[in-house]
Amino acid sequence: MFLSCGDDEMITTINPDPMTEEQTYENGVLIVNEGPFSGGSASLDFHDIGKDTLLRNVYSTVNDGQVIGSILQSVTVIGDNAYLVVNNSAKIEVVDAITMDYKNTITGVFGPRYIVALNNNEAVVSEWGLDGLSGQLKKINLSTMTVTDSVSVSGPEQMVISDDKIFVANSGGFGESNVVSVHGFDLVQEIEIPVGKRTIDMVQDINNDIWVLSGGSYTDGDGASLCQIKNNISENCMTLVGFPSDLIIDANGANLYYVENGEIKTVNVNSPTISGVVLVPNITGTIYGL
C-alpha cells in the first residue's frame, strides 16, 4: 500500500543520476503522479526499498527528458514490461520494467483507464472514450502493440481476470452504471451482476471471490457500497458514505482497504464487516490514492 498525501518526507529524496550508478526499478514501489489535466505532464517516482530512497521523475531521467503526457491513470507490469496508461493523452507508454527504458507506444485507445493481461501475448484495456460516455474494452496484441478487437462497455474501470472470464467494473463514465459485466476472452458479454452505483474498483481475494467498490452518485454519493461477488452473485453488500474510492487488498488476499470520508477503512474478507480505521502517522494532507 502506498499513500499519496502531503509532502512530509519519511525517506531520503534524491534525483536519480544514471551516469554515476546503474539504477534498477524492481525492488520497490512505483509512485504515479498523474499530473495536471491540461498543460504540464505526469511523472513517475520510485521508492527504492533496499536503499530507502525516493527517486524523483525516473521516466524522464532515464529517457533523456521525454515526458509521459497528461494524466497518468495507472501503471501495470506484465512480463518484462511496465505499461503506463496515459488517460488524457490517449496512449499507453511501454517501458522496460527493470530499467524504465522506453520501448514503444500503444495508440488507438481513447481515455484509457487500466490494462490487464489475458495471457502471455494479449491484454485488455478499459477506456471511457473521447466523450466519457462511449466506453469500450479493447484487446491488445502485446507483440505488435496494436488494438485487435473491441466491445462497447459503459465507462469501464478496473478489471479482474477469474476463471477465464473478464469481470469489468462499469462506472458509466460521466454517467452512472451499477453493474459488473462479465466477458469471455473474445470480449463478448455473457452476464451482468448488479452491485452499487458507479462501480469503480475491484480486487480478488484468497478465496477467489471478487470484491467491488461503488463510489455512489456523482451528485450526493447515493448508492455507494462494497459488495462481494461469489459464484457470479452479489452478496454481503455494505452501504458506504462519503464517496469511497481506492479499493485494494493486502498481499495475503485477506484484508481489504479503501478510502471513505478521508479515512482508510479495512474489512477482513472472511468476516465481511467494516472493522475499523487504519491510523497512518504523519499524513498532513488529503489521502488521494492507495
Segment 5-27, tens digit of pLDDT: 444 444 556 665 544 467 899 89
Residue 19: its pLDDT value, please? 44
Number of structural domains in the chain: 2
Strand 81-86 vs strand 271-278: parallel, antiparallel, or unpaired? unpaired
Model confidence at 110, in pLDDT bands (50, 70, 90)?
Answer: very high
**What is the distance between the alpha carbons of residues 123 and 138, in angstroms, rounded to a whole number?**
8
Residue 10: its pLDDT value, please? 47
Tell me, yes or no, whether 136 and 275 share the same domain: yes
pLDDT tens by residue, 180-238: 999 999 999 999 999 999 999 999 999 999 999 999 999 999 999 999 999 999 999 99
User: Which residues span the domain enclosing 281?
Assistant: 108-290
Residue 250: its pLDDT value, please? 96
From 56, 84, 107, the end of a domain falls on 107
**In sequence order, what DSSP letters do the residues of 259-275 get, joined into one string?**
EETTEEEEEETTEEEEE
> Nearest 5°: phi and psi at 253?
70, 25
Q: Which amino acid is at 16?
A: P
Mean pLDDT along residues 24-51 = 91
From 68, 91, 107, the end of a domain falls on 107
Strand 165-170 vs strand 81-86: parallel, antiparallel, or unpaired? unpaired
pLDDT tens by residue, 264-289: 999 999 988 877 777 776 667 778 88
